[in-house]
Structure formats: structure tokens, C-alpha cells
Structure 1
Amino acid sequence: MTARRLLASIHDVTPVHAERLDRLVPIVEAIVGPGRYALLVVPDFHRQGLLTGHPQFVRRLRGWADAGCEIFLHGFTHVDESRHAGVAARRKASRMTAGEGEFLGLSTREAEARIVEGRDMIEQSIGRPIAGFVAPAWLYGEDSLAALAAQNIRTIEDHFRVWNPQNSEVFARGPVVTYASRSRMRIASSILWSRLATVLLARASTVRLAVHPHDVDSPRLMREIARALGTFARSHQPATYADLASGRFS
């Protein structure tokens, strides 16, 4: 019988959120173990300064990578500055995220340029290849998917699957468990979904749970995150995306 996997990830890893990460990382690590979670790095979060302009944070990032954490490129600015063509794209951009679907409306050329620059910046910082790419808000346009395939990115994910954009091989299916902290209503709905998920996904072969630095601003949310992550960690073995893509456990 194949063991069940838990893929835990921390999004929006950037010097801008350094203090929140100081609080969030130890909570996740205490439950899943050192190096058993992914870090999604934004090279120039909201255009507030390049990652490389913060050498102390770069050293921390390299330390996490040395400890075994998978480092993903997570967009470049995390800000959607595109003019979207088509009703579906405009609806996604306005309803599924607060203006942060950076890779939803980019051209292939612009998406490739951001991927190349972001990947080079992170890889020079951590001294190893990135593990893959996750678009901000998990939103991709067709051009950005083509850019990822052209740049030999082999592991990406959205709300419902993890796959290889080069050949469309799907590594895992199922909804990601994540949280929203922008309002009381979003916090309440996130907690409800999280509690349902620990029941509905109890037998899923792969569970993904993603957290964000702003989650620590809500004690209610953090209590639920710790509960859900602990519940899943008892039924699913903390694993890496590389384990998933190769079909192995380490």
C-alpha cells in the first residue's frame, strides 16, 4: 500500500515578511519536521525591493535550502499589472485574488523574462536549482504555461493539481487547503473549509496545505492551521514535491 503524502508549503517568502516568517516557520517546522516543507519565494514582492538587496534574508533562505526545504519561484512581483482579455480572465483576476494574479495575463515573452530573472536570482542565492514554480494566487494564463514549458520548469501547481507543464503529466489531483485572512468572513470560511478538509481528505493519497505570512495576524486562523496540519501529519507522511514527481518517498 502506497503511503499517503502531505505537502506543506509557505507562500510569499520575501524580506518584506521577515518578521511574520519568524513566527510562521517554527510552527510549520514543529509539526512536519525540519526541511519537510516548501518555501515559495517572490524575488521583488510588490516591487518593494529585490531579494538580493537583503543579504541577511538571503543567508536565511540558503540555510532553509541547506536543511532540505524545497525552494520554488513564486512569480516575480506577485502583482497583477496586466490588462486581461476575455470575460473568464477578468473574472479570475477580480474574484479569485486581490490583484495578485501576476502570471494570469502576461505574454509568453514577458513571462519568460520574469521566470529567467527570478530563477537566476534565487538559484544564485541558494546555490542550487529551484524545485519548480507556483504562480501567485495559483493563476496561470496560456502564455505563462507556454513560458514555463519553454524554460524547462517541470513542477508547477494550481488549486487542484500538481503537474509538469512540458508534457502535462499530472503528479497529484485534489484541492489545496489554504487560508484567507483579509476579513472576518474570509477567516471564518477558511476555518470551515479547513475543518471539512481534514475529514474529506483524510484518505486522499496526497494532501497539500499552504499557508501565508499574513495568517499569523489572526490567532484564530493560526490555531486552526496548527490543528489541521497536525491532523494531516498523523495520517500522511510529510513529503517533498520531488518525492511526488518521482513517485518515491524519502
Structure 2
Amino acid sequence: MAGSDRLLLASIHDVGPRFEREVDTLAAAIERATGSTRFAMLVVPDHWDSAPIARDPAFQRRLRGWSDAGIEMFLHGWRHRDDQPTGFKARHLTAGEGEFLHLDEAEAARRMVEGRKLVEDVIGRPVAGFVAPAWLYGPGARAALNELRFLLAEDHFRVWQPTDGAVLARGPVISWASRSRARIASSLLFAGVARSVLAPQRVVRIALHPGDTGVPSLMASIDRTLRHFARTHRPAGYADLVRERDMGAV
């Protein structure tokens, strides 16, 4: 049984009409492996300008239903697409999807404000926080994030509160890549190592993406990894980190 002092934070990225079927598959995988519906969804208002939530009432109802069931909703950019994918991070850490890596503060703030309003209007409650696509934040995005006072944010190596910069959890997020055979192999290797190396971590984060569902070996690794950590870490929400901090546990 998972220890109550150790937390497992699972999340599904790129949630939107374009990947509704894949999101269903991943949600079922988390519930099956952990026995819990405590996880987060990262919502993209209009993925690559081809899947606008604003014009899809049926998906809006699904999003509201998930939120009503207790699934945390984060804003995950606006379009998930980087119009100027230059530099090492843009070329090697993502396939042209680091939307907030090169935006200036004004444009980053505009997308954050409009995205937050859209998602909150749909779910009827505040978003849990903001996570940049591909976990990549440029200076403009960080400045906007601080000004807009989102409750939570995360990158590859930490979860923090933009309101005051307090770090609530540290350690690499476990995720899988499906873009090439080499990336599949490396992510399978990393997940295997992580199951041992990250075992002592108080907070373990696991992030799933729609592309994972198309690769059986990745889905098997995801299931194995979720089940492994669910035995030692309690499935929880990101909001639990805030509550712990408020109670003086962080």
C-alpha cells in the first residue's frame, strides 16, 4: 500500500478534441494501474490551430465532466506550436512544439489570459496552474507567468509557485517519446532506470502523451511504471503540494 507521505503525480498532456480517443486510453491506463482517478490533465485550447475547444460543445462537456470528477485541469499553452523553432532546446527537446520558448512577455501573457479564461469558463472553476508545452519557458513566458499569478507551474525538474517562486517538488519527470525508434528506446531505458533511482523521491511525477498510445512497448512500460510507484507513493493531485506547503510540510 502506498505510503501517505510519498506522492505520485500523474498527468496527461495535450488534452483537446484532436486527441480525445488517446486521452480516454491514457486515463483508463492510469486508473487501471493506480486504482485512482487522482491525476491531472493539461489542456490545449486549440492544438496546432486545428482543434479549437471553443467550437466543440461536446468536448467542452467532457472536459467539464472530467473536472467535476476531480481531475485537475492545467492550462497547457494555447496552440502547442512554436512558430520559430530555433536553438538547441527547440531542435532537440521537442518537434516544433515549444510554443512559449520564444514569445515576448506581452504575447505570452495574452495567450495565458485567453487560455485561462476559456478553460475556466468551460470547467466552471479555476485552473490548477500553467505548464508550458514541452516544459519550455522563455524569459517572456516566465515574466508573464509571474505577473499573472498562476497557482502552480512545472518544468522537467521541478514544480513551483509562480506567486513567490517557492519550489514544491524536485526531480525529473518520467515521460516517454514516440517520435522515433531511438527516442522510444531511450525513453524505455530511462523509465526502467527511474523505477529504481527515483524510488526514494518523496514526489514522483509521471507524464503521458497521446503519441504513447500508438506504441505497445511504451504503453507496457507506462503500466509497469505506474504500478511500481503506486505501491510506494500515494496517487495525488498537484494541489496536495500546495496544501502541504500551507501546513508547513514542504
Q: Residue 89 of structure 2: which of 88, 92, 98 is its match?
A: 92
**Structure 1 residue 38 and structure 2 residue 59: aligned?**
no
Q: Distance in 1 between matches of 2:5 and 2:21?
A: 35
Q: Could you report, residue by residue, the CA deviation over 1:108-143 in whole angstroms, capped at 9, with x for unpaired residues? A: 000010001100100011010000000000000111
Listed as ranges, the gaps of 5+ residues in structure 2 are none
* Aligned residue runs from structure 1 range 206-225, under 5 A: 206-225=203-222
Q: Could you report, residue by residue, the CA deviation over 1:76-120 in whole angstroms, capped at 9, with x for unpaired residues? A: 000001476xxxxx1111111111000011010000100011001
* Aligned residue runs from structure 1 range 191-230, under 5 A: 191-230=188-227
Q: Distance in 1 between matches of 2:151 and 2:204?
A: 20
* Aligned residue runs from structure 1 range 71-110, under 5 A: 71-82=73-84, 90-110=87-107
**What is the aligned partner in structure 2 of residue 238 from structure 1?**
235
Change (3 A) 1:83 1:239: closer
Q: Distance in 2 between matches of 1:149 and 1:56?
A: 33
Does the 8 A contact of 2:30 with 2:37 survive in 1?
no
Q: Residue 148 of structure 2: which of 151, 155, 158 is its match?
A: 151
Q: Could you report, residue by residue, the CA deviation over 1:64-85 in whole angstroms, capped at 9, with x for unpaired residues? A: 101100000000000001476x
Q: Distance in 1 between matches of 2:230 and 2:26?
A: 17
Q: Residue 113 of structure 2: which of 112, 116, 133 is its match?
A: 116
**What is the aligned partner in structure 2 of residue 172 from structure 1?**
169
How many residue pairs get matched? 244
Q: Distance in 2 between matches of 1:108 and 1:214?
A: 30
Aligned partner letter, 1:96? L
Q: Distance in 2 between matches of 1:31 and 1:217?
A: 18
Q: Distance in 2 between matches of 1:223 and 1:108?
A: 41
Aligned partner letter, 1:220? S
Q: Distance in 2 between matches of 1:33 and 1:75?
A: 29
Change (3 A) 1:34 1:235: closer
**What is the aligned partner in structure 2 of residue 10 from structure 1?**
12
**CA apart distance, 1:34:** 4.6
**What is the aligned partner in structure 2 of residue 87 from structure 1?**
none
Aligned partner letter, 1:25? A
Aligned partner letter, 2:163? Q
Tell me the SS of whatever aligns to 2:126.
Answer: coil
**CA apart distance, 1:26:** 0.8
* Aligned residue runs from structure 1 range 53-72, under 5 A: 53-72=55-74
Could you tell me the TM-score, scaled by structure 1's length?
0.94
The range that moved more, 50-59 or 62-71, is 50-59
Report the RMSD for the aligned CA atoms in angstroms. Answer: 1.5
Tell me the SS of whatever aligns to 2:37.
Answer: coil
Aligned partner letter, 2:184? I
Aligned partner letter, 1:114? R
Does the 8 A contact of 2:85 with 2:96 survive in 1?
no
Tell me the SS of whatever aligns to 2:150.
Answer: coil
**What is the aligned partner in structure 1 of residue 127 from structure 2?**
130
Aligned partner letter, 1:103? F
